[in-house]
Amino acid sequence: MDKLKMHSPDLIETNIARLAELFPNCVTEARDAKGELKQAIDFDLLRQELAASIVEGPQERYQLNWPGKREALLTANAPIARTLRPCREESVDFDSTQNLFIEGDNLDALKLLQETYLNKVKLIYIDPPYNTGNDFIYDDDFAENTESYKLRSNQKDDAGNRLLANPEGNGRFHSDWLTMMYPRLRLARNLLRDDGVICISIDDNEVHNLRKICDEIFGSDMFLAEFVWKCRQFTDARSVSNTSTDHEYVVCYAKGDAVSMRGNPRDESKYKNPDQDPRGVWMSRSMLGLATRDQRPNLHYTIVDPDTNNRFEPPATTGWRYSKDRMALMIQEKRVLFPERPDGRPREKKFRADLVSEFTSFPTIIDGIYTSYGTASVRELFGSQVFDFPKPFELIKKLLEQLTDRSDIAVDLFSGSATAAHAVMAINAEDGGKRSYITIQLPEACAEKSEAFTAGFTTIAEIGKERVRRAGKKIKQDHADKPGIDQLDIGFRVLKIDTSNMKEVYYTPDAVTQEALPGLVDNIREDRSPEDLLFQVLLDWGVDLALPISQQSIAGKTVFFVDGNALAACFETGIDEDFVKQLAAHKPLRVVFRDAGFVSDSVKINVEQVFKLLSPATEIKTL
């Protein structure tokens, strides 16, 4: 039986395989750093395959480039030997919730989620460091080759060393920020459904660079909108230039075509029927267009009121909205409202019944939601300002209203105080939805002189988890009278990124010496629990991390069952044929055992035969 690979997918191998399908003649072999032959791509041939003329060397082209881009791309594709360890004591409703709170580096998290959530996420929200010169960016070490990165990624890193100040005096000020963002955006795109959207909060410092890397990663034709968010409620008088920067941006890109905002609900109060028109309620609307007489002469003509013979001309700078023939038909159908005075302006009767959609277009200026709202929410929940400049959850809730349906998954890569998780619970409480979220936050240390530290929080991740706990309770209290509110999912599973559950021998068996063999009978780290192993198996097999998990005792041994019979896992020792037969009777789709858990080699060999006889559809693996 096969062993699980127990590391995130190697995207380089995947990309080579895809290219091999399209251009098999471009596949070759090359020696790696160890001198071993491996599959590779002949890039000179590939460039020729994609060119209409002879390619002799580098040619000028439109592109965004910066120091560190190639290293960032290489590292984004490299696998990591890490895992997610469940933490029940910090979770809420661990066994039943559909929500995940991942604590750790979001680049690692994105790699770990690649198989499980590939093409499953509807909305990704990112509120990254704005690179103002005063904030911090992730200190990704990309100055190494793939092999050394693989080795390093299997070692536990120090969370305190994951953030780095990026002052404007740094010669790589923009480059370091781009290097940090580029691999995260590439990996995030993989998680999006074909109708998925990514929304990124940003300000003037990097919006120009953000648009360029998003054009490269998502495609310029996938640009959806750049919303201007009026985030400041009152004018800021502190600027040396005597200007008040009152806005930020939310840049949105779609993964595929035919994605649009839902729009705002129409104001039904505008529709009346004072003349008892049998066609129903209507509103008065202007019939003026936007074309000058020189641009559209056919839209500049005289309208005559058939009852009074009053004549009406359009302004020379606008013209009418409709052609002459269309206007004549509208007059005949009594859809034109003529003024009593000859110096007035004819208007159109717009019937509500003629409108197909219940929504109007969503404006690219977001107003009425301010940063101060986010500050007020945190103060209300905690009694003090434990987090600086939190986004208002109403902003993210508006994005959820526009871009998600009631059962979609939303992901927040830079969770901060868990504003997006708050927004998901809030919108679900309002419309009865079952949206779920995955929120990711680095355990960044709180400054010792901060209000957060004084309140007892040592990391930003702790603040986020506590906010979700408090916000969930408050939302239920605020909607206590609403039917079905008891079913609102306010829980979350805490999963912490850590080193692999497997010892180094699992990944580098050739490096083991004869003297070290007696201590390596078991390839699993001693400090790992069965549930730790289960979640690494879920990651490796691409199983949803939010599925319900139950435990059963079979022949005195604990067996985990995921989503009924989707997966059965037993990590105990002393596995014999009697136990295997009883487990096979449950007919699980997949089953996994500890490699060193069998009582003998003969039992291990017979496992596949037992399942082939009693449950032939079961896939079997070991770790």
Would you say residue 293 lies in a domain?
yes
Would you say residue 547 lies in a domain?
yes
The SS3 call for residue 121 is: strand
* 508: confidence class by pLDDT, cuts 50, 70, 90: low
> Within this chain, do residues 368 and 412 fall inside the same structural domain, yes or no?
yes
> Within this chain, do residues 472 and 366 fall inside the same structural domain, yes or no?
yes
d(CA 524, CA 502): 4
Tokens of residue 288, six digits? 């003026």
The SS3 call for residue 75 is: helix
Choose between 318 and 511: higher pLDDT.
318
> Within this chain, do residues 159 and 253 fall inside the same structural domain, yes or no?
yes
Range of the domain at 527: 520-622
> Within this chain, do residues 87 and 11 fall inside the same structural domain, yes or no?
no
Segment holding 325, helix H or strand E: helix 324-332
Q: What pLDDT was estimated at residue 152?
A: 47
Residue spans of alpha helices (H) in 23-119 = 43-49, 69-77, 106-112
Tokens of residue 183, six digits? 């691999």
Q: What pLDDT was estimated at residue 517?
A: 46
In degrees and rounded to multiples of 5, residue 196 shows phi and psi of: -85, 160
> Within this chain, do residues 239 and 382 fall inside the same structural domain, yes or no?
yes
Taking Cα atoms as reference points, which of 128, 192, 189, 137 lies closest to residue 162? 137
C-alpha distance from residue 322 to each of 168, 296, 316, 319, 363 (Å) = 54, 11, 15, 9, 24
Q: What pLDDT was estimated at residue 402?
A: 95
Taking Cα atoms as reference points, which of 422, 374, 397, 398 lies closest to residue 232? 374
| 136 pLDDT higher than 70 | no
d(CA 124, CA 196): 8
d(CA 433, CA 462): 27
Tokens of residue 571, six digits? 């990590």
Q: Total domain count for the chain?
A: 4
d(CA 520, CA 6): 17
C-alpha distance from residue 27 to each of 38, 42, 44 (Å) = 10, 6, 11
> Within this chain, do residues 289 and 235 fall inside the same structural domain, yes or no?
no
What value does the mean pLDDT take over residues 424-444?
Answer: 96
Contact 121, 54 (CB under 8 A): no
> Of 444, 464, 497, which residue sits at a domain end?
497
d(CA 5, CA 262): 42
Q: What pLDDT was estimated at residue 11?
A: 83
User: What digits encode the pLDDT tens for the residues 520-548?
Assistant: 456 888 899 999 999 999 999 999 999 99
Q: Which CATH number goes with the domain that contains 148?
A: 3.40.50.150
In degrees and rounded to multiples of 5, residue 558 shows phi and psi of: -80, 130
d(CA 489, CA 99): 8
Would you say residue 515 lies in a domain?
no
Q: What pLDDT was estimated at residue 157?
A: 42
List all residues 6 or more positions away from 234 whose beta carbon is below 8 Å from its beta carbon: none
d(CA 38, CA 216): 29
Rg from Cα positions in the chain: 30
Segment holding 567, helix H or strand E: strand 567-570
Q: What is the pTM of this model?
A: 0.81
> b or e along 121-153 (b: 16 or more beta carbons within 10 Å of the residue's beta carbon)?
bbbbbbbbbbbeeeeebbebebeeebeebbeeb
> b or e along 389-401 (b: 16 or more beta carbons within 10 Å of the residue's beta carbon)?
ebbbbbbbbbbbb
Would you say residue 127 lies in a domain?
yes
Segment holding 393, helix H or strand E: helix 393-403
Q: What is the largest CA-CA distance in the chain?
A: 108
* 170: confidence class by pLDDT, cuts 50, 70, 90: low
> Of 454, 482, 497, which residue sits at a domain end?
497
Q: What pLDDT was estimated at residue 218?
A: 92
The amino acid sitting at 161 is: N
The amino acid sitting at 521 is: V
The amino acid sitting at 592 is: V
Q: What pLDDT was estimated at residue 142?
A: 43
The amino acid sitting at 614 is: L
Would you say residue 325 lies in a domain?
yes
* 260: confidence class by pLDDT, cuts 50, 70, 90: confident
What value does the mean pLDDT take over residues 109-125?
Answer: 96
> Within this chain, do residues 428 and 485 fall inside the same structural domain, yes or no?
yes
> Within this chain, do residues 345 and 408 fall inside the same structural domain, yes or no?
no
> Within this chain, do residues 138 and 155 fall inside the same structural domain, yes or no?
yes
* 164: confidence class by pLDDT, cuts 50, 70, 90: low
Strands 347-351 vs 282-286: parallel, antiparallel or unpaired: antiparallel
Q: Strand pairing partners for 288?
A: 320
User: What digits encode the pLDDT tens for the residues 350-371?
Assistant: 998 888 777 788 999 999 999 9
DSSP label at residue 296: -
> Within this chain, do residues 328 and 188 fall inside the same structural domain, yes or no?
no
From 236-250, 486-500, 560-574, the region with the lowest mean pLDDT: 236-250
> Of 309, 339, 354, which residue sits at a domain end?
354
Chain mean pLDDT for the chain: 87
d(CA 454, CA 446): 10
What value does the mean pLDDT take over residues 322-344?
Answer: 94
Q: What pLDDT was estimated at residue 385?
A: 92
List all residues 6 or more positions away from 24 whose beta carbon is below 8 Å from its beta carbon: none
Choose between 143 and 300: higher pLDDT.
300
d(CA 440, CA 107): 10
| Burial class of residue 453 in the structure, from the number of CB atoms within 10 Å of its CB (0-12 exposed, 13-18 middle, 19+ buried) | middle
Would you say residue 507 lies in a domain?
no
Would you say residue 70 lies in a domain?
no
Q: What pLDDT was estimated at residue 30?
A: 73
d(CA 593, CA 611): 13
Residue spans of alpha helices (H) in 135-172 = 146-152
> Within this chain, do residues 86 and 235 fall inside the same structural domain, yes or no?
yes
The SS3 call for residue 193 is: strand
User: What digits encode the pLDDT tens for the residues 50-66?
Assistant: 877 766 666 666 778 88
Q: What pLDDT was estimated at residue 154?
A: 47
Q: What pLDDT was estimated at residue 238?
A: 76
> Within this chain, do residues 95 and 175 fall inside the same structural domain, yes or no?
yes
Q: Could you report how far apart the first and last alpha carbons of the chain are, in Å?
A: 10
Contact 364, 225 (CB under 8 A): yes
Would you say residue 73 lies in a domain?
no
Instruction: Give the CA angle between residues 164, 169, 172 to the nearest 5°.
Output: 65
From 98-107, 271-280, 348-357, 371-380, the region with the lowest mean pLDDT: 348-357
